[in-house]
């Protein structure tokens, strides 16, 4: 049966070969398209699978050793959290006030280190704020000793009040770095005695944080020699006296001729007086005789 089918296939192939030999070389497009459509598509060859060899026996499994006891677990140390230190403010620089605080200060000087009774002293008080914040209600107080009499007080800023020998200057608010100058003119009175007199000025504020170490300043004046004539600065008068306005300048009178009696004419005038007196007596006698 198989040989008969093989002969049919061979005959069919031969017929196709003969027929294709006698066909013209040019085939109409209408016939060529079906021919191309009938051209069998070559199928890719099916890969041959090579069977893997089957193992003849099961592999021997080596048993893992069974632990004889439970392993000891080493506990890991529990970390202990250290407390975070609180931030500390930076230390203050020596000589500098803490941040945000005032530091009022006063410095007192005198124009001369020594004086006599009746002498004039000029005190200068310099008030300032060395801190870095405003100082409120700043007051400078200076009480002069009993040996000094106040003549005049002036200030570059603020209000001046005086009661007897106590001088108070209210400065209100003083800004950092601001400088105020106070000037006191005084006279050394007759109660002053050697060797010296002292005077202290004080500054204060109501704002907290002020350094009190520079809130006072003292000067010393030596009392020397006998009383001296007071010499006041130009334009100033002693206490209790009003300034006198200068009047017009009166020129000296012109020289007049001398009308007095000289020593040479005195005898002559005496003789003339006696002669006139005798003449008057003679005339009176003759008048009586007639």
- Return the half-sphere exposure (C-beta side, CA atoms, 13 A cut-off) of residue 182: 25
The residues near 120 (Cβ < 8 Å, ≥ 6 apart) are: 151, 185, 186, 187, 188, 230, 231, 232, 233
pLDDT value of position 283: 83
Residue whose entry in the numeric block shows the structure tokens 């001729």: 257
Half-sphere exposure of 274 (CA within 13 A, CB side): 5
- Residues in the chain predicted with pLDDT less than 70, given as ranges, are 1-99, 225-264, 290
Q: Is the pTM of this model over 0.85?
A: no
Give the pLDDT score at 280. 79
Q: Which helix (H) or strand (E) holds 188?
A: strand 179-188
What confidence score (pLDDT) does residue 192 get?
94
CA–CA dist 160, 21 (Å, integer): 145
- How far apart CA 8 and CA 12 sit, in angstroms, is 6
How far apart CA 92 and CA 279 sit, in angstroms, is 120
pLDDT score, position 27: 47
Q: How far apart are CA 227 and CA 230, in angstroms?
A: 9
Decide if domain 104-223 falls under CATH 2.60.40.740.
yes
The domain locations on the chain are 104-223
Cβ partners under 8 Å of residue 262, min gap 6: none
Q: How far apart are CA 107 and CA 61, in angstroms?
A: 105
Measured CA to CA in angstroms, residue 16 lies from 11, 34, 145, 200, 287 at distances of: 9, 16, 155, 146, 231
198: left (phi over 0), alpha (psi -120 to 50) or beta: beta
Which pLDDT value is given to residue 143? Answer: 97
Residue 19's Cβ-side half-sphere holds a number of Cα atoms within 13 Å equal to 6
pLDDT at 116: 94
Q: Report how far residue 231's alpha carbon sits from residue 23's, in angstroms, rounded to the nearest whole number.
A: 158
Question: Tell me, what's the pLDDT at 227?
Answer: 57
Per-residue pLDDT, 29: 47
Torsion (CA) 207, 210, 213, 218 in degrees, nearest 10 = -40
For residue 121, what are the β-bridge partners?
A: 186
The closest alpha carbon to 117, from 220, 191, 199, 196, belongs to: 191
- The confidence score (pLDDT) of residue 272 equals 80
Phi and psi angles of residue 171, each rounded to the nearest 5 degrees, phi first: -105, -10
Element of type H or E holding 29: helix 29-38
State residue 223's pLDDT score: 94
Give the model confidence (pLDDT) of 96-115 as tens digits.
555 689 999 999 999 999 99
């Amino acid at each position: 049966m198989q040989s008969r089918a093989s002969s049919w296939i061979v005959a069919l192939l031969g017929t196709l070969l003969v027929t294709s030999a006698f066909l013209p070389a040019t085939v109409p497009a209408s016939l060529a398209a079906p021919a191309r459509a009938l051209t069998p598509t070559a199928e890719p060859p099916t890969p041959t699978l090579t069977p893997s060899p089957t193992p003849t026996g099961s592999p021997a499994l080596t048993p893992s050793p069974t632990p004889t006891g439970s392993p000891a677990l080493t506990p890991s140390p529990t970390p202990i959290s250290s407390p975070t230190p609180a931030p500390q403010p930076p230390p203050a620089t020596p000589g500098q006030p803490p941040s945000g605080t005032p530091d009022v200060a006063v410095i007192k000087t005198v124009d001369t280190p020594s004086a006599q009774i009746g002498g004039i002293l000029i005190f200068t008080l310099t008030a300032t704020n060395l801190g870095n914040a405003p100082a409120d209600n700043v007051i400078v107080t200076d009480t002069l000793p009993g040996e000094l009499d106040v003549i005049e007080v002036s200030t570059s800023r603020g209000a001046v009040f005086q009661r007897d020998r106590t001088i108070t200057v209210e400065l209100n608010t003083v800004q950092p770095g601001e400088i105020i100058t106070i000037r006191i003119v005084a006279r050394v009175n007759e109660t002053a005695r050697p060797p010296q007199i002292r005077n202290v000025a004080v500054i204060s504020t109501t704002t907290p944080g002020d350094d009190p170490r520079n809130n006072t300043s003292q000067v010393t004046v030596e009392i020397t020699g006998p009383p001296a004539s007071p010499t006041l600065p130009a334009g100033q008068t002693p206490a209790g006296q009003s300034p006198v306005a200068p009047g017009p300048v009166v020129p000296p009178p012109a020289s007049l001729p001398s009308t007095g009696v000289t020593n040479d004419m005195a005898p002559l005038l005496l003789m003339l007086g006696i002669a006139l007196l005798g003449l008057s007596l003679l005339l009176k006698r003759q008048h009586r005789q007639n």
